[in-house]
């Protein structure tokens, strides 16, 4: 399987031999679509729809009044990390009514990045619970919203009841450097787990 990819690949270098599927998850309105859009080197796939009155009772918009659309299916983007690794990012919708799609989307995924918002940390438990049920390793990135309360990462770790080994970082989903760092913390975690498993 050593054939070079097609010559129309602008970004994907022929040396890229490893692809990893990663999920970007988190509760409603935490910034998943922004995150995938910021990082993707190709035009991202977006499935945003205007939010309707029908969702007003279940989709809590507190603190995100400028939000007018929500992802109804998925986000997708691609990020080449280095000469040999390319990441495929799949963003899953945050609302519980999409859980079925979510299960399908975890197929083949190596791990997940959970985005969290300090204004509603407790909303992250549902998503983390689903990942644990599916046995999918994850890292957590606090997406810093302007005006959101700033807590130390230690406090966030405690509030989210994370394992010591679970990476926890801050990021700004609008900025490529900070978002890339969040993703790299997940990749490093997955690689360290893999090494541990191999040596176990």
Q: Which residues bind another protein (CB under 8 A)?
A: 1-6, 8-12, 16-21, 42-45, 47, 73-74, 76, 78, 86, 88, 90, 100-101, 104-105, 107-111, 137, 190, 193-194, 197-198
CA distance 113 to 166: 11
Residue 144's nearest CA partner among 179, 112, 110 is: 179
Select 71 or 124, whichever has its Cβ closest to another protein: 71
Select 14 or 129, whichever has its Cβ closest to another protein: 14
Select 64 or 166, whichever has its Cβ closest to another protein: 166
- In whole angstroms, the minimum distance from the beta carbon of 70 to another protein comes to 15
- In whole angstroms, the minimum distance from the beta carbon of 48 to another protein comes to 13
Select 43 or 150, whichever has its Cβ closest to another protein: 43
CA distance 189 to 110: 11
Q: What is the dihedral of CA 54, 96, 169, 151, to 10 degrees?
A: 60
Q: Which residues pair with 23 in a beta bridge?
A: 90, 112
Contact 140, 167 (CB under 8 A): yes
């Amino acid at each position: 399987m050593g054939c070079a990819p097609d010559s129309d690949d602008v970004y994907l270098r022929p040396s890229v031999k490893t692809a990893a599927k990663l999920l970007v998850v988190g509760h409603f309105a935490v910034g998943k679509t922004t995150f995938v859009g910021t990082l993707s080197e190709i035009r991202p796939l977006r499935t945003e729809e205007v939010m309707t009155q029908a969702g007003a009772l279940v989709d809590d918009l507190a603190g995100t009044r400028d939000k007018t659309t929500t992802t109804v299916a998925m986000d997708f983007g691609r990020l080449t990390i280095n000469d040999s690794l390319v990441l495929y990012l799949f963003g899953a919708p945050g609302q519980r009514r999409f859980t079925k799609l979510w299960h399908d989307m975890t197929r083949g995924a190596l791990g997940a990045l959970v985005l969290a918002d300090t204004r509603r940390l407790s909303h992250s438990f549902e998503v983390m619970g689903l990942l644990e049920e599916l046995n999918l390793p994850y890292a957590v990135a606090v997406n810093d919203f302007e005006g959101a309360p700033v807590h130390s990462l230690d406090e966030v770790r405690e509030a989210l009841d994370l394992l010591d080994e679970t990476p926890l970082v801050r990021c700004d989903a609008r900025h490529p450097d900070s978002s890339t760092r969040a993703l790299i913390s997940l990749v490093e975690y997955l690689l360290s787990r893999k090494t541990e498993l191999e040596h176990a």
